[in-house]
Amino acid sequence: MERRSLHYTPHYTYALMGHRRRILVDSKAGVYRYDELIVLRQTSMPAVLLEAGSIVNRQEELELGTPERRSLTSAAIVAAVENFCAARALPPGIKAAASGH
């Protein structure tokens, strides 16, 4: 995120969020812990719910609507998925056996 000049919004850590307050698991990446989201709770595969922005003020809302911000966000998502897939790739010997070669 930092390489792309993107920063997470820490407002979920504030006491004023009340029952919506969340534990920040990774402050560098802006990852919060919340296990009760129905779209993630019952998955049988690795899953992530991405919040690409949070409209907490008018300036942020305007920034989220720009083509530049959408481009930065989509590039960050693609990079994250590529990094995840590369980290989970099978070793070369196992790949050949799995493909029948």
Regarding pTM above 0.95, the answer is: no
The mean predicted confidence, pLDDT, of the chain is 77
Cα–Cα distance list, 46 to 85, 88, 89 (Å): 11, 11, 14
Domain definitions of the chain by residue range: 2-99
- Asked whether 30 and 80 are in contact (CB, 8 A), the reply is no
**What pLDDT digit, counting tens, does each position of 37-84 carry?**
777 778 888 777 787 777 777 888 898 889 998 998 899 889 888 988
Q: SS3 string of 56-74?
A: CCHHHHHHHCCHHHHHHHH
What CA–CA distance (Å, rounded) separates 80 from 85?
Answer: 9
What CA–CA distance (Å, rounded) separates 57 from 28?
Answer: 22
